[in-house]
């Protein structure tokens, strides 16, 4: 397996122009049959996906990923984002630096949690770049749907106190595996920072956009969610499955599993479900 690390620079007119983003890739020794573009979740980083990458490489797939602005080894402020488009700018930069021979292969967009929301919103304007998408526990619907008042308050705070922390994550909901939770809490690249008022407002706005425009997505899509996910609502995956216009789509809700289904005790079965689906799609 070949592993490479590098740096991407966000270009103007990005709201974070000039920022350096950490990126890395894993690839088989032989030419891969497809490329996975991996989009991680909130308050984590690409380094937490080494096991995911090893599984994919063993199945002939290369994995390219980055640490979002404000995450991991990248520039930016934990818990905050100047504009949600900065996440899309990172994906643009990641795709732009790939060699032409790799971009010619089928590209599979895989997004987890916040990364699922980033991926879904990115697809609204860029789905022609990909052969398929896989969303794991995507943040499409909140576990507790905010009222109109709370949405308005969030937009107000986003303007007057954009960096104020408003929402913390319960690490115990990450996985049923105590070691995964302990490693997450001890990870120096996991900040534990609350989601800021600006990021919360940006997330809610993009959730609404994806819900309202879901029918515009026609790409083959696999939706995966843990039934006991307390961090993102399984109803969001159900909603997307019911409302996207994709002729090729599949929804799998895993009984008993928590949020990070790629880090649950059943992770090998989940990853095999994903790679088997990808193999079927790219074989068509």
Taking only the tens place, the pLDDT of each residue in 168-211 is: 889 999 999 999 999 999 999 999 999 999 999 999 999 999 99
Of the residues 14, 74, 113, 158, which is catalytic? 113
**Is 113 among the catalytic positions?**
yes
Over the chain, what is the mean pLDDT? Answer: 94
Say if residue 30's pLDDT is above 60. yes
**Is 25 among the catalytic positions?**
no
Of the residues 43, 89, 229, 273, which is catalytic? 229
Q: How far is CA 80 from CA 12, 42, 57, 149, 198, in A?
A: 19, 10, 33, 22, 7
pTM (2 d.p.) = 0.95
pLDDT tens by residue, 123-180:
999 999 999 999 999 999 976 666 565 666 677 677 777 788 888 889 999 999 999 9
What is the average pLDDT across 59-78?
Answer: 98
Residues sharing a CB contact under 8 Å with residue 207, sequence separation 6 or more, in sequence order: 117, 139, 140, 141, 142, 236
pLDDT at position 214 is: 98
**Is 45 among the catalytic positions?**
no
């Amino acid at each position: 397996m070949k592993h490479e690390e590098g740096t991407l620079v966000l270009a103007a007119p990005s709201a974070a122009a000039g920022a350096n983003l950490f990126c890395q890739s894993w690839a088989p020794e032989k030419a891969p049959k497809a490329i996975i573009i991996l989009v991680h979740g909130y308050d984590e980083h690409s380094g937490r996906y080494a096991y995911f990458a090893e599984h994919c490489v063993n199945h002939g797939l290369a994995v390219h990923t980055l640490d979002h602005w404000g995450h991991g080894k990248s520039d930016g402020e934990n818990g905050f984002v100047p504009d949600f488009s900065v996440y899309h700018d990172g994906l643009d930069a990641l795709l732009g630096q790939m060699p032409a021979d790799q971009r010619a292969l089928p590209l599979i967009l895989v997004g987890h949690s916040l990364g699922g929301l980033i991926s879904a919103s990115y697809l609204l304007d860029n789905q022609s770049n990909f052969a398929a998408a896989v969303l794991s526990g995507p943040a499409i619907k909140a576990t507790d749907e905010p009222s109109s008042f709370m949405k308005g308050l969030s937009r107000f705070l986003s303007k007057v106190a954009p960096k104020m922390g408003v929402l913390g994550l319960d690490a115990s909901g990450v996985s049923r595996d105590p070691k995964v939770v302990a490693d997450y809490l001890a990870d120096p690249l996991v900040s534990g920072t609350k989601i800021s008022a600006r990021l919360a407002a940006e997330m809610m706005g993009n959730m609404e956009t994806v819900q309202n425009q879901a029918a515009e997505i026609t790409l083959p899509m696999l939706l995966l969610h843990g039934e006991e996910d307390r961090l993102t609502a399984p109803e969001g995956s159900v909603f997307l499955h019911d409302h996207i216009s994709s002729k090729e789509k599949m929804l799998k809700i895993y009984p008993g599993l928590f949020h990070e289904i790629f880090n649950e005790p059943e992770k090998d079965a989940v990853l095999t479900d994903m790679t088997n689906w990808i193999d079927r799609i790219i074989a068509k």
